[in-house]
Amino acid sequence: MTLAALFAVLIGMCLLLVRALLGPTLYDRVLAVNSFGTKTVLVIGLLGYVMGRTDFLDIAILYTLINFVATIAILKFFRYRSFQVPLARRADPAARGGDSNG
Amino acid sequence: MAEFFALIGNTWEVVRFPLGGAACLLGAILCIVGTIGVLRFPDFYTRVHAASITDTSGAGLVLIGMALMAPHWIILVKVFCIMGFLLLTSVTSSHALVNAAHTAGLQPKIGPMGRSGHEEDEEDKH
Amino acid sequence: MAYLLGTFFAIFAFWMGNSGHYKPLMLGFAALSFAITLVLCARLKILDREGAPYVRLFGWLAYYPWLAWEVVKSNWVIIKACLRAELDISPSLVKLKTICKSDLAKVTFANSITMTPGTVTVEIEGDKLLVHGLYEANTQPEAFEEMDRRCARAADPAEKHA
């Protein structure tokens, strides 16, 4: 049953790749990649259960966090064309993240 | 009384594996449903809604199934860590996506659609 | 000091739950990494009420089960919308006004709206939110009033920190 779930998630990932390849805008592709990352976490966890090695869940925790950082980094890069800009709201110039960077 | 609790414990040990497997399978099927929505819906903002099925109920059910099948309490703690991180980060990143698209000037399609026209045409127009 | 202790207990629980090795050597490494983490947090100045919001844990514990039920209900609507043979949706943009005061409560509210499938927060400016919804009937401002009230109660307990 876990194996069936694993294959179902893999089918879902294949369908998402279609959207990532033919998505008309950049944001469709980023959405597909983000959802793909969420499913990758599920696949890693289910694979651990199928193989009987639940240590895989550690990797799944790390992948969750890396997926988030990757999405934010892609969006930031396509908005500012650089990774060096401190992320702060324009309406809030005295943001804490901004001044501790210099 | 102790026998009764032992009986419940034994039954739970037998029942939790099929239950967890069923929850995993249901969650995986919901992932496919969300993906079908991502493929079918007409514009970016509506696709985000379909993707959020995968993020909340699909991933949640798969992780609940994993928690039911956990062989050790440490595995349980790890599964709940993944669930907490996943719920926080996927929601935040979908908000960041929509906010970035809106700031960049991508206009959403507003108003009722479907019913009157062919949905396939709306897909192919872009 | 209370924030320091709260952060310490959080990372202590995280380490103990994730490690599974309780030999003296490993515990020594754990103590070392706690110390480094706390020093780095203090240097980053994130040990304030946003960085260590553990006082509000009980409010959130009461709030999230209710939110989970809301998520299940609206999931069902979106699943039907995905699987229907003919596409039948009416997307809309709605402007909301929230009663939440602090940033933490606003974040909780916007996060709950995004977590509920069918509605997603597009932008927050001050106390106004821009929400995109899949069905126009489900995204009237009245539909969010109860969530708003519960968020304010969960994350702004009695205004005593304001």
Residue C18: inside a domain: yes
Q: Cα-flanking dihedrals φ and ψ of residue C20, to 5°? A: 85, -5
Average the pLDDT over each of A82-91, C44-53, C56-65, C135-144 and give the range with the smallest value.
A82-91
One-letter identity of residue A72: I
* pLDDT (tens place) for every residue of chain A, 102 residues total: 889 999 999 999 999 998 889 878 888 999 999 999 999 999 999 999 999 887 888 999 999 999 999 999 988 888 887 777 776 655 544 444 433 332
Taking CA–CA distances from C75, the nearest residue in chain B reads B53
Average pLDDT over residues B65-82: 89
Q: What is the pLDDT of residue A11?
A: 92
Q: How many domains does one find in chain C?
A: 2
Mutation for testing the B interface, residue in A31, A33, A80 having most B CBs under 10 Å: A31
Residues C67, C124, single domain; the answer is: yes
Q: C4 vs A97, B32, C16, C145, CA distance in Å? A: 20, 44, 18, 35
* Per-residue confidence (pLDDT) for residue B50, from 0 to 100: 87
Question: B66 and A67 in contact by Cβ < 8 A?
Answer: no
Tell me, yes or no, whether C96 lies in a domain: yes
Element (DSSP H or E) covering residue B118: none
Regarding whether C59 and C35 lie in a shared domain, the answer is no
Instruction: Tell if the CB–CB gap between A58 and C125 is shorter than 8 Å.
Output: no
Amino acid letter, A90: R
Expressed as residue numbers, the domain containing C128 is 54-159
Cβ <8 Å between C45 and A100: yes
| pLDDT given at position A47 | 92
Please report the pLDDT score of residue B112 as a whole number.
77
Query: Do C113 and C140 fall into the same domain?
Result: yes
Q: State yes or no: pLDDT of B118 exceeds 50.
A: no
pLDDT average, residue stretch C138-146? 79
Pair C154, C122 in one domain: yes
Average per-residue pLDDT in chain B? 83
Closest in C18, C45, C125 to A91, CB measured: C125
Confidence of residue C4 (pLDDT cuts 50, 70, 90): confident
How far A102 CA lies from chain B's nearest CA (Å)?
25
Domain ranges of chain A: 2-83
Instruction: Report yes or no on C80 lying in a domain.
Output: yes
Residue C74 is assigned to a structural domain of this protein:
yes
- Mean pLDDT, rounded, for B81-96: 90
Do C38 and C59 have their domain in common? no
Q: Is residue C7 part of a domain?
A: yes
Task: Over range C93-121, report the average pLDDT.
Answer: 85
**Residue C72, number of CB atoms within 10 A of its CB:** 14
Nearest CA to C118 among C95, C146, C99, C90? C90
Residue C49 domain flag: no
pLDDT tens track for C77-94 = 888 888 887 777 888 888
- At residue C95, the pLDDT reads 86
Can you give the pLDDT at residue C14?
Answer: 87
List the beta bridge partners of residue C128: C97, C125
Q: Please check whether residue C125 is in contact with residue B102, taking contact to mean a CB–CB distance below 8 angstroms.
A: no
**Hey, is the C-beta of B78 within 8 angstroms of any chain A C-beta?**
yes
- pLDDT, residue C137, reads 77
Q: What is residue B54's predicted lDDT score, i.e. its pLDDT?
A: 81
CB contact under 8 A, B77 and C17: yes
Looking at residue A66, what is its pLDDT?
Answer: 92
Q: Looking at residue B117, what is its pLDDT?
A: 45
ipTM greater than 0.90, yes or no? no
**pLDDT score for A102:** 27
Assign 3-class secondary structure to chain C: CHHHHHHHHHHHHHHHHHHCCCCHHHHHHHHHHHHHHHHHHHHHCCCCCCCCCHHHHHHHHHHHHHHHHHHHHHHHHHHHHHHCCCCEEECEEEEEECCCCCHHHHHHHHHHHHHCCCEEEEEEECCEEEEEECECHHHCHHHHHHHHHHHHHHHCHHHCCC
Which residues on B lie below 8 Å from A41 (Cβ)? 59, 82, 86
Residue C159, pLDDT score: 53
Q: Which residues contact B32 (CB under 8 A, 6 or more apart)?
A: A8, A11, A12, A15
Q: Where along chain B do its domains lie?
A: 10-102
- What is the structure's pLDDT at C154? 78
Residue of B nearest to C108 (CA): B88
d(CA C154, CA A45): 32
